[in-house]
Amino acid sequence: MAASAHLAQGWALLFDGRFRDSLVSFGLAAHDYRAAAEALYGTGVAHLSLQEDVHAETALWHSLRQAPRNADAVFYLGLIAERRGRRQEALGRYREALALDGDHANAGARLAAVRAGTGVRPSTVPLPAAPPTRLPIPAARPARPGPAPAALAPDDVERLVESVRLSVRPRAVAWLGSLDRAVLAPLPVHPVTAALLVAVWAALFPLRASLPPFRSLVTLAQVAAGIGAALELLGLVLTAVRAARTRITIERGRVRVEDDPARPGVVTTLDLARVDRVDLRRTGLHPLTGDGTLVLTAADVTVLLCGVARGSELTDLYRRLLDVVDHLRAR
C-alpha cells in the first residue's frame, strides 16, 4: 500500500475516534520520507488524543523539523504546554500558531483563555478540521534524517555543546518502573513477576493444609515460589540502590556515568561527537510518571540514561541532544 493510502487510512481512523489504530497506519506511512512530516504530525495528534502527551510532543517536534510552518502542530505543542502547566510556553506557542495562520480559531481561543486566567487546563483535544494539505514534500530523499544542521562557527558549536549540562542522581521510580532489562539489574527482574510469585507463595499456605496427601509437593512448590520471590525482591532493591547511587553527568560535550553499584569502580564516558544515534525509549510506567530512557549509541559503546528527567523536560533534553550530535558530526 502506498504511503498516501496509509495516510488516508490513518486520518480516517483518527477522525473516527480509533486513535490507537491510526498509529499503525501513520507508522507505516512514516517510512516514506515524502510522507514523514504528515505522518509524524498525525502520530502526534493521535498520541495527544490518547492523553500520551510526551509521545505526542516528540512526534510533533520531529514533524516540525521537516515542516516548520504547520500551524496546527505548533498549536498542539501549546496545548501540551498548557496541560503541563507551562503557561508562558503555551502563550508563545499560541502566538506562533496565529502568526503562521491568523485564522486559527483554536489557537485564538486558547490564547484568550490563558491570558484571562479563567480557562481550565484542557483535558480534551480538538481534532483538526481536516488532514493537512500543504505540508512540504521533499524533491529528493534527504541524505540524513531531519534538516541538515546550519553552518556554525567553532565558538557557536562550543556554546551549543555547553548548553547541554546535566548532573543528577536518577529517580528510583523511573528505574523500577522502566521494566527495561538493560536498566533493571543485576537480576532478571520484573515487578509483576515479583508480585505473582509472592501471591503464589501466600496462596499455597491454605492449599497445603487442605490437601494433606500432597503436602510435600505443595511445600516444594511453595519453597520454589518463595525463593523466586526473594530473588525478584532482591533485584528490585538492588535496582533502587543503583538509582540512588549512580551519578550521570553531561558536561563539555561528554557523558559520564559513575558510582554504579552494579559496576564497582567502572566509569563510563562517551563524547557526544562519537554518538551515532540518540533514541528516546518510552517504557514501563511512563503514562503515570512521564519518565523514559535516553539511549546514546556509538560504534563501541551504548549508554543508557534512565531517570534523568521527566515528561516534557525529557523531551526537551532529547531534542537538544539531537541538535548537539547533529552539529558535532557535521563538523
Per-residue pLDDT tens over the stretch 44-99: 999 998 888 888 888 898 888 788 788 899 899 988 888 877 788 888 888 888 88
* Strand pairing report for 302-310 and 247-251: unpaired
The closest alpha carbon to 330, from 128, 192, 144, belongs to 144
**Helices 36-49 and 19-29: crossing angle, nearest 10°?**
160
**Span 260-310, pLDDT tens digits:** 887 888 899 999 989 988 887 766 666 556 677 888 999 888 888 888 877
Q: Are 39 and 29 in contact (CB under 8 A)?
A: yes
User: How many of the other CB atoms lie within 10 Å of CB of 291?
Assistant: 25
Residue 134, classified by CB atoms within 10 Å of its CB into exposed (0-12), middle (13-18) or buried (19+), is: exposed
Q: Taking all residues of the chain, what is their mean pLDDT, rounded to a whole number?
A: 81
Decide: helix, strand or coil at residue 251: strand
**Which pTM value belongs to this model?**
0.53
Q: What is the pLDDT of residue 154?
A: 66
Q: What is the pLDDT of residue 311?
A: 64
Backbone dihedral angles phi then psi of residue 280, each to the nearest 5 degrees: -110, 110
User: How many of the other CB atoms lie within 10 Å of CB of 139?
Assistant: 6
Q: Percent of the chain at pLDDT above 70?
A: 85
Does the pLDDT at position 43 exceed 90? yes
Cell of 55: 509521545
Q: What is the pLDDT of residue 139?
A: 47
The set of long-range contacts for 295-301, using a CB threshold of 8 Å and a minimum separation of 24, is: 296/255, 296/270, 296/272, 296/321, 298/270, 298/274, 299/274, 301/268, 301/270
**Span 179-219, pLDDT tens digits:** 777 777 656 677 778 888 899 988 888 887 788 888 888 88
